[in-house]
Amino acid sequence: MIDTKQKTTLLLLSPAIIVLVMVILGPLIFSLYSSFTPFKLTRPDSINQFIGFRNYVRIFGDEDFWAAFVRTIVVLTIALNLEMLLGLGLALLVNRATMAQKTLRTIMMFPMMFSPILVGFQFRFMFNDNIGVVNNALQSLGITQEAIPWLVDKYLAIFSICVAEIWNSTSVFAILILAGLMSLPKDPLEAAEVDGCTKWQTFRHVTLPYLMPFLYIAMTIRSLDIARAYDIVQIMTGGGPAQRTELLWTMIARTGYVDAKMGMANAMSYVAILLSIFFTVFFFRKLNQARHQLGVGL
Amino acid sequence: MKVKSLTYSIALLLAGAAHADLPGKYDGVTLQAKLIGGQQYEALYSRIADWEAATGAKVEVISKKSHFEIDKEIKSDMAAGTTDWCVGSNHSSFAPQYIGLYQDLVPLLAGADIDAYVPAIIGASKVGGELIMLPRAQFDVSALYYQKSLFEDADNQAKFKEKYGYDLKPAETWAQVSDQAKFFTDPPNFYGTQFAGKDEGLSGRFYEMLIAEGGAMFDEALKPTFNSEAGVRALNWFVDMYESGAVPKGTTSYLWDELGAGFASGNVAINLDWPGWAGYFNDPEASKVANNVGVVVQPKGSAGIRTGWSGHHGFSVTSDCANPEAAASLVWFLTNEDSQKHESAGGSLPTRTAVWEHVINTADSDYRKGVLATFSEAAQHAFPVPSIAEWIEASNVLFPELQAAIVGEKTAQEALDDAAKEIEEVLMDAGYY
């Protein structure tokens, strides 16, 4: 039996529960259901046709999907590591600035202020092999006389996309690491100096352990971002040529909206989410370990 | 009997007279419309106010986006069942996808001058025998642009004849385009030609080359047949251009904007492109090849057939529209003779026979006259994409395989076989067999 107090509690909570169900749970259940149907946007009645796990079975046998899955992991690994290194470097430099640090911090965040679509167009133009500024500069400087196919070559195309991603988002790492550096206690640094540690030893054994929780938070955020990368890739290469730069979400968006196969696209999305869940769990475990080493948290 | 027949004839004449001023009176009616946006399409929409003044109705434009965005929105509307708006922009390549969304216009336009539109274009506006769109003055077929000075240069002419054994002049066949493109190429500064390298752009270019080589996309049972010898020959033309370096290496990432900018930059000798670029290419402020642009009708393939992949924009009326007569009146008005004259003044190609004559006669320069005459002839060889709802989906399967052959990951035969197998599955899923 529910007593009056519990009824009041339920009543008071009900608006929040209703909103959560409508905004989060409802669409999730609907999209999960539609992944078990051959739902096509242009044939609305197909939502009523239940086909069990057929979409999932097809996905597991689809080489193109798994190639995109692996490619997404490769881009994620390259971009995440380079962003971390560059972000760490930027944060250390800005932290050492003795004047105009606020201005430098603002400038450092400029790339984050651009929409990924704009960044995609900007880098597509820059890396154009015929009229792009990168080839033009390389040829003018006499470094090459070739028209380097930045957006076509198997490796260069992935590299170009990583460059755009890194340019756009390194500041996420930089700003979080800078926050870590600014909150770093002075005592351990002074103790290391008194003990005769070199600058590298101080950084490696004192500063870095303090920064690790900040690094893992940044990595969690950015791994989620990159695992669902779409805008920049779509604008720069559209996943081509010959699917060389096809990532999970360019494939899913084309399946869902251009081919109108929303049932299949939703099934792909649920498989793709496994990637995000894996990286989130992995980085949160690392975050807890780092906090544990520092003597905070679990 | 005679009286009855006479009465019927008079009734028909009156009906015809009524349709002579098709707009009609629709006071208090508001039509919601979803229209394609963009500079080249906007000029026509000023005519909507004239239709409103003539009919007393109002037009509420509830969405105006690029065609690809409108396409996504319309598909979402179909899924959500929110299709009670009345007038939508449409395109011949996309129209077959919208199953049941739009209604047959013939009953709504009885007596209207449908025969005044170019018959082949009216044919390409039908899906399953129903006229689901009326074409506006936005017809597209490609012709061959070239830099005149390169072909007029005596030194080039002598060297070309020595190397290939025939005179250097604008190409009549795709084999000649291939020779000329290789002859003019000097990478990375100058390229012989270029082509759309992705999306429906590449599928469409392959499709028209396939037809020109005597092949077909599908047989009568809609089984893919493009992996035939003709298909391999067609695809190998693109492969050969890429491997020989006669096109920029990045061409598989190019679409219309890059191609237009490439030819206008003066770095490309020969360029198969749409009529909408003619003015831009000859504009001294925008183009380095201004006053040096020639245009000839598109070349033939080895089967003696000219390429001619074509498409056109138009307007449709939804099946759920509450005022289909008013909507049909608007659609007709926006595609009538006056509207097509108005729209084609901006450089686009009309879809009414009488307007073709008008635009050629009123062209303001010899260049423009030449361009229009060429595209008028090019239109004679035009053909649309296969009229199946799955064309875009099939194209999305096809173009990555074409790219794989072009960049050397697969042979032409392997790429086409793989695409054929996958497209057959798509069509099987759709219930064709």
Specify the range with the lowest mean pLDDT, choosing from A18-27, A39-48, B3-12, B297-306: B3-12
Q: Is A141 on the interface with B (CB under 8 A)?
A: no
List pLDDT tens digits, range A51-63: 999 999 999 999 9
| Cβ contact A242–B407 (<8 Å) | yes
Q: What is the pLDDT of residue B21?
A: 59
pLDDT band per the 50, 70, 90 thresholds, residue A296: low
CATH code for the domain in which residue A126 is found? 1.10.3720.10
B186 pLDDT higher than 70? yes
**Chain centroid, CA B230 distance in Å:** 23
% of residues, chain B, pLDDT over 90: 76
Residue A284 lies in a domain: yes
Tokens representing residue B427 in the block:
């069509």
For residues B304-317, give the mean pLDDT.
96
Of B288 and A6, the structure prediction assigns the larger pLDDT to B288
**Which residues in chain B have their CB less than 8 angstroms from residue A243's CB?**
400, 403-404
Whether residue B40 contacts residue B276, with contact meaning beta carbons closer than 8 Å, is answered with yes
Residue A27 lies in a domain: no
How do B58-65 and B30-36 pair as beta strands? Answer: parallel
| Cβ contact A149–B250 (<8 Å) | yes
pLDDT band per the 50, 70, 90 thresholds, residue B17: very low
For residues A264-283, give the mean pLDDT.
92
Q: Is A31 on the interface with B (CB under 8 A)?
A: no
Q: What is the pLDDT of residue A96?
A: 86
Q: Is B408 on the interface with A (CB under 8 A)?
A: no
Selecting from A145, A260, A261 the residue whose C-beta is nearest the C-beta of B188 gives: A145
**Which residues in chain B have their CB less than 8 angstroms from residue A260's CB?**
75, 97, 393
Q: What is the pLDDT of residue B242?
A: 96
How does DSSP assign B128-141, residue by residue?
Answer: TTEE--EEEEEEEE
For residues B65-90, give the mean pLDDT.
91
Q: Give me the domains of chain B, ranges plus CATH numbers.
A: 2-140+311-380 (3.40.190.10), 143-309+385-429 (3.40.190.10)
Whether residue B255 contacts residue B204, with contact meaning beta carbons closer than 8 Å, is answered with no
Whether residue A204 contacts residue A140, with contact meaning beta carbons closer than 8 Å, is answered with no
List pLDDT tens digits, range A48-107: 999 999 999 999 999 999 999 999 999 999 999 999 999 999 999 998 887 888 888 888
How do B270-273 and B30-36 pair as beta strands? Answer: unpaired
Chain A closest-CA separation from residue B133 CA (Å): 18
Q: Is B258 on the interface with A (CB under 8 A)?
A: yes
Cis peptide leading into residue A213 (ω within 30°): no
Tally the domains of chain A: 1
| Cβ contact A130–B191 (<8 Å) | yes
Q: What is the pLDDT of residue B346?
A: 80
B181 pLDDT higher than 50? yes
pLDDT band per the 50, 70, 90 thresholds, residue B20: very low
For residues B105-132, give the mean pLDDT.
90
What residue in A sits closest to B253 (Cα-Cα)? A237
B10 pLDDT higher than 80? no
Residue A236 lies in a domain: yes
Residue A227 lies in a domain: yes
Whether residue B32 contacts residue B60, with contact meaning beta carbons closer than 8 Å, is answered with yes
- Residues B44, A212: Cα–Cα separation, whole Å: 61
| Cβ contact A243–B400 (<8 Å) | yes
pLDDT band per the 50, 70, 90 thresholds, residue B16: very low
Residue B306: φ, ψ to 5°:
-80, 150
ipTM over 0.95: no
Preferred mutation among B66, B74, B75 to probe A, highest tally of A CBs within 10 A: B75
Q: What is the pLDDT of residue A297?
A: 53
How many CB atoms sit inside 10 A of residue B92's CB? 24
The dihedral through the CA atoms of B138, B140, B144, B147 has a sign that is positive
**Chain centroid, CA B186 distance in Å:** 32
Q: CA–CA distance from A51 to each of A44, A55, B423 (Å)?
A: 15, 8, 21
| Cβ contact B393–A260 (<8 Å) | yes
Q: Is A259 on the interface with B (CB under 8 A)?
A: yes
Whether residue A119 contacts residue A168, with contact meaning beta carbons closer than 8 Å, is answered with yes
Residue A157 lies in a domain: yes
- Residues B22, B329: Cα–Cα separation, whole Å: 6
Q: What is the pLDDT of residue B67?
A: 82
Least Cα distance to B377 among B174, B144, B183, B195 occurs for B144
How many pairs of residues across A and B have Cβ atoms under 8 Å apart? 108
- Residues A7, A16: Cα–Cα separation, whole Å: 15
Q: What is the pLDDT of residue A1?
A: 62
3 state SS of B145:
strand
Q: Is A253 on the interface with B (CB under 8 A)?
A: no
B273 has which bridge partners? B143
List pLDDT tens digits, range B227-243: 999 999 999 999 999 99
B40 pLDDT higher than 90? no
B111 pLDDT higher than 80? no
Residue A125 lies in a domain: yes
**Which residues in chain A have their CB less than 8 angstroms from residue B288's CB?**
none
Q: Kindly report the average pLDDT of chain B as a whole number.
A: 91
Listed as own residue / partner, the contacts of B36-41 with beta carbons closer than 8 Å and 24 or more positions apart are B36/B64, B36/B65, B36/B66, B36/B67, B36/B70, B36/B89, B36/B313, B37/B64, B37/B65, B37/B66, B38/B66, B40/B138, B40/B276, B40/B346, B40/B347, B40/B348, B41/B89, B41/B138, B41/B313
- Residues A72, B126: Cα–Cα separation, whole Å: 42
B345 pLDDT higher than 90? no
Least Cα distance to A39 among A268, A260, A273 occurs for A260
A6 has which bridge partners? none
pLDDT band per the 50, 70, 90 thresholds, residue A291: confident
Buried b (16+ CB within 10 A) or exposed e, A55-88: bbeebeeeeebeebbebbbebbebbbebbbebbb
Q: What is the pLDDT of residue A292?
A: 84
% of residues, chain A, pLDDT over 70: 99
**Which residues in chain A have their CB less than 8 angstroms from residue B256's CB?**
none
In terms of residue numbers, what domain contains A98? 63-293
pLDDT band per the 50, 70, 90 thresholds, residue A5: confident
Q: What is the pLDDT of residue B349?
A: 92
Q: What is the pLDDT of residue B18?
A: 39
- Residues A251, B333: Cα–Cα separation, whole Å: 41
